[in-house]
Amino acid sequence: MAEKMDDNVVFVGSKPPSVYAFSVKTIFAKDINEIIVKSRGKSIINAINLIEFLKRSNQIEVKDIKTSSIEHEYEDKKDRKIFVSSIEITITKK
Amino acid sequence: MAEKMDDNVVFVGSKPPSVYAFSVKTIFAKDINEIIVKSRGKSIINAINLIEFLKRSNQIEVKDIKTSSIEHEYEDKKDRKIFVSSIEITITKK
């Protein structure tokens, strides 16, 4: 069976950092050597703290960092639009 | 006189985004075409929101994004170390 497309994606939200560090380790243990760490809004700092921790402990290298923003529309206020920033950090096993 | 080294640096903290957007505009108006947007800790999201706004309004292109972390030591608790993440986003005028 083909590998699912997001087998190498870790979404970082507001859980404790150890949860995401464990996800990264688990994926690398499957011999997948490149992971995309994704996050958005206020959780972006958690994603950056995670990759900085993994860098300091010599587990990864950062290959690429991209940011983007997605438009959100409110159901009740169609005229009000907000943009939510997101980040994608591509890391490789060291 | 030589240009100051940080003439092209904008530090993003917790002020309203318009403040930093204005700083970027002011620097570009001086014919400096490359700016480094720096931020750390919880303000990182403000720096990313800023560059996403500038991208959407077609004012800039992002050339490079780097993250790092700096170790902090407490005066009173020498054994306790924390790391603060920081970001450097290099942007160019469009």
In the predicted structure, residue A3 carries a pLDDT above the cut 70: no
pLDDT digits (tens, 9 = 90+) for A52-92: 999 999 999 999 999 999 998 777 777 777 899 999 999 99
Cβ contacts of A84 on chain B, cutoff 8 Å: none
Measure the CA–CA gap between A54 and A49, rounded to whole angstroms. Answer: 9
* Closest Cα in chain A to B39: A45
Chain A CB contacts of B56 under 8 Å are 69, 83
pLDDT given at position B1: 43
B77 φψ region: left (φ > 0), alpha (ψ -120 to 50), beta (else): beta
pLDDT at A2: 46
Q: State residue B2's pLDDT score.
A: 45
Model pLDDT, residue A5: 57
C-alpha to C-alpha distance for A10 and B13, rounded to whole angstroms: 28
* A69 contacts B45? CB cut-off 8 A: no
Residue range B16-32, pLDDT digits in tens? 989 999 999 999 999 99
Q: Quick: pLDDT tens for B30-85.
A: 999 999 999 999 999 999 999 999 999 999 999 999 999 999 877 777 777 789 99
- Of B75, B45, B9, the C-alpha closest to A40 is B45
Whether A42 contacts chain B with CB within 8 A = yes
